[in-house]
Amino acid sequence: MQKEVNDCGNWWVGYLALAIRIPLQLLSLGANREGRRRSRKTDRGEGRKMARPAGAALWRLQHLFSQLSRSATLAAVPRSYSTAITSAKVEVNGVHLHYQQTGNGNHAVLLLPGMLGSGQTDFEPQLKNMNKEIFTIVAWDPRGYGKSIPPVRDYPLDYFERDAKDAVDLMQALKFQKFSLLGWSDGGITALIAAGKHPDLIHKMVVWGANVFVTEEDVKIYNAIRDVSKWSEKVRKPLEEMYGHEYLSKMCSAWVDGISQFTQKSNGDICQLLLTHIKCPTLIIHGEKDPLVPRFHAEYIHKRIKGSRLHFMPEGKHNLHLRFAEEFKKMVEEFLV
């Protein structure tokens, strides 16, 4: 098909050349003859005056040919990458996981959503605007979230480890042998676990709004958002459209109970010990106005991942990648490249 497109483009350029150059040659010949005839006259000024219209017409046709040739050549060159966002499901660990994919770059990147989230609700700017010539972007819906239902989402004590295994196995099923991770909130926790357990598979990692242990202070924050009817409409509406109000309300309450159970473990541990196993370059971003994740969580992760970078966004809140999408995109792409 590619050869056919190029052949078509080359044929069109050739046809234009033939169609325009022949009249150009005839007109040029006529102009030369007219000039010679006029030069024999005693009034040389008249000869110059009569030759100009033919010369002007010749220049206009030459300019037209140049423009058409350039347009034909550009039309014959196809785009080297696709901007389309595809959607599909693949069976992984006994469940059908939904994912979106876009771009044709050599650098594969998995986007991991936050609590109750999906690729569609959590990463629209990144799916649309990340460099699709450099990256192949995959945004997944963890089991029980988004379009990866069934099953109904549940929260056993090892649900983050389960998500991490699903995420890695999904990318392997899609034939990505090595890839980078962009994890937000719960997705950041999942990314940290995946990178700690599979250091040879992860190229680079960016996390924001994540924590690796749960404190009593955190539990108070979680309980304050248990009632989804108290959420702002901007936050609640896309999730209600995805799940319906009743399912969203039940799932949020179950999430609060699920994340709070880590306080029963020593030091509220989720995955603290795995941080020292992370070998990939890591960027931690923290919004200084994040109402859900206190600053000390980002600082703790930074101190325990060797060689990691910590960046603070003064005006950033929990959803900093959505509110400051362009700034986030630039920072992340520069880090990944």
Pairing of strands 135-141, 107-112: parallel
**CA-based angle 166:168:307, to the nearest 5?**
130
Considering 122, 166, 218, 290, which one is annotated as catalytic? 290
**3-class state of residue 123 by DSSP:** coil
CA angle 256, 229, 111 (to 5 degrees): 55
Q: Which of 67, 60, 36 is nearest to 50 (CA)?
A: 36
Buried b (16+ CB within 10 A) or exposed e, 286-314: bbeebebbeeebbebbbeebeebeeeebe
User: CA quadruple 78, 82, 88, 89: dihedral positive or negative?
Assistant: positive
Q: How many CB atoms lie within 10 A of CB 172?
A: 14
Please pick, among 148, 180, 185, 260, the residue that the annotation labels catalytic.
Answer: 185
Known active-site residue 227: no
Q: Residue type at 150?
A: P
First vs last Cα of the chain: how many Å apart?
Answer: 32
206: left (phi over 0), alpha (psi -120 to 50) or beta: beta
Tell me if residue 158 is catalytic. no
104 CB burial (10 A radius; 0-12, 13-18, 19+): middle
The amino acid occupying position 324 is F
Report the SS3 class of residue 274: helix
SS3 97: strand
Q: Please say if 257 is a catalytic residue.
A: no
Rg (CA), the chain: 31
For 33-60, b/e burial (b = at least 16 CB within 10 A) is ebeeebeeeeeeeebeeebeebeeebee
Choosing from 98, 297, 318, 321, which is the catalytic residue?
318
**Residues with catalytic function:** 185, 290, 318
